[in-house]
Structure 1
């Protein structure tokens, strides 16, 4: 009996050591996974600030907190378990889902690019019918819209995160997925909060109680932030096209080999290789977005005719 107990203890000790050894790799896995989703993170960061434009400045951080909280809940309670379950029961579905999400990102990116260069015949944007709503209703509407956009991007983030840890022990998968969900959410919405309140901080620094040099810095921040937000929007759009097309390309063996060969041929110049791949994916993303947009218009016309 004692010998059996010692044998059991030895087995438990070996299991604990093996688990500890595998958990040592978790930080590296989290870092690798976070790097893979950086393009979508940039896009998420670039998109979110627009949802607080026009709201009461005193409510900006509250709105961002509401969006961040719902984003984290979606990642932890819906998207991460869904990715793990799909990976276990239907691993073949991960790549098609990623590709559909990539097509959506290309579509969104194309829509943004198209809106930048499209002009109405009279030189003015079409006047939309504006309904009067209370500030509370506007805030609720903005939060809902932001969460709907975020859940698409978050789904892509968690699916890509899972694709990087397939084959790992289930404990590692759980820890990495949860760590990525928390880290990405805190990083994105923490940075968004800084961006949104940067002009307020700059305005505060222009007060008479601060020395002239500090006041000058404050005025510079106030002048700089509108330009920064505009360029951040451009970066977000480019990231949408680049990431969306790259996701689709990696789901098709032929295009995946093309991207791999491109990187290999320019491996002696890493920066040039990265820029070439990003440019190729960006152009491909525009083309994919254009095709998806035409399909969406066609489907809408078919449904509208059937309704009539």
Structure 2
């Protein structure tokens, strides 16, 4: 009997060590994948505040909560099973999924740039009269969840690409972990950002001089921060989208554009000494953004001028 108990405890110990190793593998893989997906995360965090800007402050957190739930459904119920099936039965298709998302991000970013330069606006905006606020809010939430689906697909595809050699269990666990953590971080940050002006208003009305100064600073800074986030979001869309397309073309044997961009990057690195890492990265990111802008402008022109996509909304 004691011998059987010792054997049982030994088996439990082996199982526990194996489970701990698996959890450690998941954590390491998730960290590696999350780092690779950082560009898309920045894009997601920068773009989302625009969906609540200008709406009633009382509706900001409910809207963000709706988008958060939609994002979790996107990642866990749609993209996670799809990614696992793809990795098991058609792994070669992952690069095409990435490139399709990259093209969409390039198109979205270029459309925003064209609108800022005086191009026609597509879709209903806050500048238009809003006949039905509830329907308008629902359209905004749907638009945010649709954009999140594309960004989440990029995050999941990048993550999957990083853990392609792992077991099915590890792949699934990493995808779920990255999906949940990124969703919480992104939309938690967005909620803090969009409510910061309310915090500033509250502090500006307090008796303490220091509190009033901080409150006035927050009230003055928030519009500038939201504008900056909008610009960062557009740049991130173009940088991430263009970079994905360059990488995808290289993977498919059309490496000339990526080779040229890397050549310029390396030339900058050789010429800048101690700042070579930062300036080299910025150079490649900038060239990726320009490539994304050119591709996105072409797609926007074809969709809006040739196919009349987006008219009548």
TM-score range, shorter chain: 0.7 to 0.9
| Number of the residue aligned with 1:3 | none
Q: State the number of aligned residues.
A: 292
| Number of the residue aligned with 1:231 | 228
Gaps of 5+ in 1: 1-5, 121-125
| Number of the residue aligned with 1:201 | 199
Is 1:292 aligned to 2:299, yes or no?
Answer: yes
- 1:118/1:185 CA distance change after superposition, 3 Å: same
- 1:138/1:298 CA distance change after superposition, 3 Å: closer
Is 1:214 aligned to 2:221, yes or no?
Answer: no
- 1:169/1:19 CA distance change after superposition, 3 Å: farther
| Number of the residue aligned with 2:94 | 94
Distance 2:166 2:303 in 1: 39
Contact 2:262 2:284 in 1 (8 A): no
- Describe the SS at the equivalent of 1:240: helix
Distance 1:210 1:249 in 2: 56
Distance 2:288 2:177 in 1: 29
| Number of the residue aligned with 1:283 | 290
- 1:146/1:127 CA distance change after superposition, 3 Å: closer
What TM-score, normalized to structure 1?
Answer: 0.85
- 1:24/1:262 CA distance change after superposition, 3 Å: farther
Gaps of 5+ in 2: 1-5
Q: 1:97-176, aligned counterparts within 5 Å? A: 97-118=97-118, 130=129, 132-133=131-132, 135-176=133-174
Distance 2:126 2:19 in 1: 62
| Number of the residue aligned with 1:41 | 41
Distance 1:161 1:262 in 2: 28
Q: CA deviation at 1:25?
A: 2.4
| Number of the residue aligned with 1:80 | 80
- Describe the SS at the equivalent of 2:307: helix
Distance 2:126 2:213 in 1: 39
Distance 1:11 1:256 in 2: 52
Distance 1:119 1:26 in 2: 46
Q: CA deviation at 1:294?
A: 2.6
Distance 2:109 2:52 in 1: 21
Contact 2:243 2:288 in 1 (8 A): yes
Q: CA deviation at 1:130?
A: 3.9
Distance 1:187 1:252 in 2: 31
Distance 2:158 2:262 in 1: 18
RMSD: 3.0
Distance 1:185 1:290 in 2: 29
